[in-house]
Amino acid sequence: MKHYKITGGNLLSGEISVHGSKNAALPILAATVINNGKSIIHNCPNLSDVRNMLEILNLLGCRAEFVGRDVIVDSSGFSPKDIPYDIMKQTRSSSLFAGALLARGKRALISGSGGCCIGRRPIDLHLRAFGEMGADIIPTGDGILCVADCLRGSKIILDFPSVGATENIMIAASLTPSTTVIYNAAKEPEIVNLADYLRSVGVIIKGDGTGEIHIKGTCTPKDGEVEVVGDRIVAATYLTAVACSGGSIKIKSIDPGHLSSVIASYRKMGMSIGVDGDEIEVSRQTRLVNLPNIITSPYPGFPTDCQPLIVAAMTTSYGIGIVNERIFENRLGHCERLRRMGANIETTGRCAVVRGVYSLSGADVSSCDLRCGAALVCAALGAKGESVVSNISYIDRGYENLCDSLKILGAKIERIELNE
């Protein structure tokens, strides 16, 4: 089993470029099914989750492969079929194929999906929307079957601005010539990136990035092309690495506006952060000060994916920090692991109270989900002594060679294999 061995205490310095966003690339890859031709996805990150999506595309008769930093998908050979459960369970974003399969293949079997165990991620919003668009929703022994000879445009009000539901509805509506309107839609940059791809194949979309999105589909999709935006969570991870270890770095190939709430929070904690175009310069020279009011919320609020990261930074900051997780009910697993490194954290329900200690100590810790793993790596960079972070397959789902990237910045980290 592969692990990260990290020796803390080195100040970080240098420049690092952010790779393409995982959370943007995955729905775009699912959407390529609707196009009866070629799609070029530029700046696509080479991650395990992305490779799983390519496996599903090839299973469906499409030809999907990496060519350098791009992914080329030819969906002209698409053959509708159910995705086996053992493949579906590998990544949460496999559920995004439901909208594409329903739009082009007239049926989609949702048999469960994998990903990180951070809480319930119910698909009832997806199913209700498909039903409002004219699909029959049929429970079966293998999952939930959605069937529709022809989807229709509809006005859909989401109870919660779910990113996955918004994406699935956008994709499902892309081959429907009448207009679909999503109210209380998700506003994330990844939604805008998906809309950019769909527009490239001929779909008319207005309002992406706001709470009301209008989609008028096309009966004749054309070849598509899009560039995946920089991964804002990866950028936040590098920012957190400096918060934990100290030093000064430049983060490139990222839109700072996508991280406005994170940048604002770290500035309040005492970090020096400057933005210029698609670059962020970040520095931490003194001990940071904790914040009493970090609350995760849908974009543009503080991202739930960054909550474990800022908790890692809070562990050695001065004073008491309070974090409330409002998105997932089981996303404080990193707190127990950080306590093994000497952190003083109390958790009650979805709330974590962090009393900053002067320093953490190296320890053997295991990732329990993707962002937990990243938080543990950041904490280990600032800890005294050596840490071993295991179960890093979670980290590989969202970071393209995180080890080498941190080495570029001066971290003492290596990827090792230990016999269990």
Active site residues: 116
Q: In a 3-state reduction of DSSP, which class is residue 280?
A: strand
Q: At what angle do helices 163-172 and 22-31 cross, to 10 degrees?
A: 20
Q: In a 3-state reduction of DSSP, which class is residue 112?
A: coil
User: Contact at 8 Å (CB) between 259 and 235?
Assistant: yes
| Rounded-to-integer distance, Cα 30 and Cα 396, Å | 20
Identify the sign of the CA torsion 65, 69, 75, 78.
positive
Tokens of 156: 């859909």
Q: Going along 8-103, which residue ranges are E strands?
A: 12-17, 38-42, 63-67, 70-74
Nearest to residue 191, comparing CAs of 218, 158, 238, 223?
A: 158
Compute the 3-state secondary structure of the chain and give helix, strand, coil in percent, each to the nearest 5: 35, 30, 35
